[in-house]
Each structure stands twice: as C-alpha cells, then as structure tokens.
Structure 1
Amino acid sequence: MNESLPANPRRLATASRNWPMRASLAILGLIALLCLIGPLVSGHPYDQVYRDYVLVRPSLFAHPDAHETHEALEGIARRMRVGAETSREEGGVLHITLSAGRPIDPRALRAFERSDVFGPARIVETSDEGRRVSIDILLKRMVFLFGTDANGRDLFTRVLIAGRISLAVGLLASFVALTIGVAYGAVAGYAGGRIDALMMRIVEIVYALPFIFFVIVLVMVFGRHFVLIFVTIGAVEWLDMARIVRGQTLSIQQRDFVAAAEALGASAPAILWRHVVPNASGTIAAFLAVLVPRVILLESFVSFLGLGVQEPLTSWGVLVADGARNIQGSVHLLIFPALFLGATLGALQSLGDAWQGSPGTGRR
C-alpha cells in the first residue's frame, strides 16, 4: 500500500538520521554562525575604507609589507614637502629621519596618523634648527584574509555581512511566500468547484503581470525600508507555492484518512491543518529549497537596480556582480562571495531533497 499516512510527530527524529540532511544542516549552520560572529572578530568594520589598501590580494600575512610601507612613506613625505632620508623597521616600529630646507612643523606629523599604514609619530631627536627630525612611528598591522575591494574595504567582513542580508532575505521573504502560498493553495484545493476555479484564475492573472515590475512598483510606493523588501519579494513569490499546495491538496483529499476525519465531523480548517498541510510538507520543503535561492537572486537583481540593499550594506548577489565586473584583475572579488553563495544554495537544495525523501513526508 502506497498511501500517505497522517503526519507522525516522530518524523523529525527519523529524518534527522538521514546523513545528507545532517550534512546540509551542518553546512548551513556553519555559514550562519560565521555570518553572525565573524564580523565581530574580524577587526574591520564592514564600511571602513582603507585608501592605502585598495584591491589587496587575499593573504594570511599581516600588512603592510616593505613595498606598502615605502609607498605610504613616500606619499606622506611628498605631501609634507620633506625628504625621508633614512628609515628602518625594528619590532613593528619604523625609525625615520626627515629633512627639509625649512624647520619642520611638528603638527605636520599628524599626516602619519591619518594613514592606514602608520600610527602616531613620536619625535625622538631634532637637529639643524628643526630642519632634521628623527621620529619613531608604530606600524598598523592588518590582515585581510579575503583581500580588499575596489574601495579598500575588507572583503572577509563584507562577505559575512552580505551573508546576514542574503540569508535574512531568503528566510523572511520565503516565510511570507510560504504563509500566503500554503494557505491560499490549501483552501483552493480543498474547497474545489467554483471557488477553486476563481482563486486559480486570480493566480493566473497575477502571473501575467511582470513580477519584477510589481516589485519595483511596491518599493517605489512604500519606500525602501529594509523589512519591506522582504515582504515585497515574498508577496510576489507565493504563486508557485499556491499552485503546488493546491495540487497536493487535491491528491491528499482523496485519501482514506481525510475521509475518516470528515466522517468524524472534523472541520475544514482542522483537516487542512492536521492532515493536508503536514502530508504535503515534503513537497513544500523541496520547493522551499528552490524558493530560498531564487529569492536571494531576486533581491540581488532588485539591489542592482538601486531599489534594494544600498551601500554600504551589501548582499552576496551584489558582491558576485561586483566581482564579475572586476574578474580580469581581481578574481578574488568573485571567488569568495560565489563560494559562500554556492555552498548555501547547494546545502539548501540537498536539504530539500533529503527532507522529501525521508520517511513520513509523503513519499515511499
């Protein structure tokens, strides 16, 4: 007998023994944990611009290196109109002798503090009536695991911040689509007849509208509030969910356990909540695995149009688009956000497949 049974509360415990599901959950949990904690310990604010470190390549070693130190020193010396005669590094401290044709104003040394490479400068010795000054400067040590972008911002922090945005968009917008689509499709399928026909005609009419245009209109009318973006995207992604749940409802409605519940006098909402929706959960979960990445990609497109996530915030899709534009000279801008996005989408797809194939989800 291949008929679905009423939902079993032990389904999750049984499904948890499915190793693909556990692996997918572990990957998603690790990514979520990194996105949550990573920016707090990276040492770089996501919107901090390091003008001396533009398009730095990924590295485990601390910056600045000898070349970066020399370039920064030469630039500051030119702005101060002085010459850097000698310099040597010792224990993270740079010893420099500056000289000029006029007395050097100590206040000009503040230029070192404004640099991303150097810390405050301390005068050690002054000679030649102030025209020669020996100073000690503490070097600022920084590590850019994923390198930096075209604006000199730490890519590691930005990828994790983008993960927060993308995961939030995927989960919250999908929750909106799930709530509307499941309720709408279940009611239409169970009611049947003219009510079903009318509700599905409404879905077809909405389908005929350019959904991205619909998103743009909603954002333009109600503004670009962060939460509104989730609701707006979810509000146009429920149509497929409604159709799928309707089809599942029509099938499950013919099963014996539904007929038994009706014979016992169970109300329509009770039957939908206790029997129809739980027995369609496998298909719903499988579709959610497709819906979440689709929502993430839709958010990226909306942000690309200037109607979604705005600078300095970002999302994985926005970072991937930026990386694609700079792939010739800075491939790391594309690789790291694409890896996080791909791992997330793959884990979601695997999770949906594992859930659909687990015992008690309506498949044998």
Structure 2
Amino acid sequence: MSHPATVADVAAAAGVSRQTVSNALNRPDVVRPTTLTRVQDAIRDLGYRPHASARRLRTRQSSTLGVRLERVHGISGAVLDRFLHALVDAADERGMRILLFTATDPEDEVRQFERLVEGSDVDGFVLTSTFHDDPRTTWLAANDVPFVTFGRPWGIPDMDAAPHPWVDVDGRAGAHEATAHLLAAGHRRIGFLGWPSPSGQGDERRRGWHDAVVEATGDEPAAGLDLSCEDDVAAATHAVQAAFETGARPDALVCASDTLALGARFAFGAEVPVVGYDDTPVAAAVGLSSVEQPLVDVASAAVELLMGAGRSVLPAGTGHRLLAPRVVWRG
C-alpha cells in the first residue's frame, strides 16, 4: 500500500463497517470478540495508526496522562527514569502521550492536578512514590479523576480491596529470595539495612528478610542485625560501622536499596556478601548483587488498568497488579 492505511482500508480488510473499526479502537467492549479479532488483525497487517488529532476532537479527550517528574536523590533515582521510559513506550502503543510536570511536595502536586484537570490537559494520572495518608490519592478520588499508582495505598487494612487501582512490585518476595539464597549458601548472621519505619516499601522489604530468617532457622534474627538509616551512602556506611562497634557484625547483608548497599560495601569491603535493591547501573558497575524490578511490566500494567483494552482512559476504577521481582546475582 503506497499511502498510509485509513479506517476505510481497515474496514475493507476486515469485512466490517468503518463504525465497527471505530468501535474496536475506542469502545472494544461493544464489539463481538470474533469481529474485534478480525479488526485488530487488519490494523496490525496494514500498520494502521489512528489519527490522534481527529480522535481527540471526536472523543473530547486529550489522549494524555500526567506524571510528576520527581527530584530524586541517591543511586536508586535511576529506577524512576527507567520507569518513565517504559511508561512512554506503553502509552504510545495506545496512542497516548505522557505529560511531565514538577511539584515541590505532595500538596503542590495536588495543586498541579487541579490546574491540569481544569485545563483539560490530561485524561488521568500515574502516581509514583506512594506513602501513608497520601493526600494525592484522596484528592483524585474525591474529584473522580482516573488514576493509577505505582506503589500500594499503604496503611489500608486490605490491599486487595483498595479504593483505587495500583501496580507494585513485591518487595517482600525480593528480599525473601535474596535472604533465602544467602541462608542456603551457609550464612547464618544475615542482617538487614533499611529505612526508618514507617515506610511502605521499606517495611515490606524488611519483612521479607525477617520471614526468610525465621522460616530457615526457627528463631528471630539475632539482636543488632536489623539496621536502619536514611537513603544515603555515607549514612549507610556509618550505620554498619556503628553496628560493628556493638559487636553485631553480620556475615551477609540484605539492603532496601542500592544506595544503602553501596554504603554497606564501603564499610565491609568485598569480604561480606551485600545485596541491594533496584539493580541500578551503579550496582552492576561495582558488582553488587541486587533485586531487579520488572519496570516494563509495571508500566504496561499501569496503562492497562487506566485504559482496559481500548484507546481511551476509563472512568475511575479499581484493580491491582502485584508483580514479582528477581535477584540478579553478581560476584
């Protein structure tokens, strides 16, 4: 075909009307499954791409998702960058764009929500870095704005019954796998270096370490092996060195982030196994084992929860995906 494929071309190839093609693109739930499959096959075979401007005029939607570009510190800030790249790709497959905006704090982020919604600049939001009593989700839910979070709604009693859609990576499972592997390798004094509680993600990762030790030994982790500090390399080095001074020297360490793992490596040297979290480029460069998050899958799941099987944002809803990480072993 010498010219870009049109709706008429797709309709002819699938043996349906142009309205059916439009429904398949924008309201797939009203199309019979067999017909939907024929249309989707024709779209793929012809390389058809809907005309975004025309669709935005027709549906009165912006075809845009808003995401805050956070100011990140520490080595693990690379995770957000990788997630944003994956999110742009996942959104593009549905004909959606990503609008990045900045905010100084969660309250300012809510003000940005209000500005973008009032201007019809976005159809929904993807939130990152969730935390206890998050005012952002409260505002979006109260205003019936579609959104999904990368991170659980920490603090509610039942995550499966969450009032909004979320995607997360099972931090407990990642830390548990790392700890169980170290135990199987013969280490018995396995410590954990995490963030001060309460921290949704940090507490989950700590729980994975704790449960693996109890399951393998039948006892609680030895005193002094549960360490915490802010997510900072120097603070991590200091926390491990302070543990040495009290006689609580682990023979292996699982950390809540690669930032903490690097600080621990400076304290230990290379003689003690240290496992980080996020599998950042720094971890790979210095040979640190680390838990890898499936960020491409996270981004795809976030877009799916917002859009279902179609090409427009759904009304605000619920649902969740908890994805499994894997440990990348080095050295």
TM-score of Structure 1 vs Structure 2, range by shorter chain:
under 0.3
Instruction: Report which of the two has the higher share of helix.
Output: 1
1 or 2 for the larger relative contact order (CA 8 Å, sep ≥6)?
A: 1
- Based on CA coordinates, which of the two structures has the bigger radius of gyration? 1
Instruction: Report which of the two has the higher share of strand.
Output: 2
| TM-score, normalising length: structure 2 | 0.24
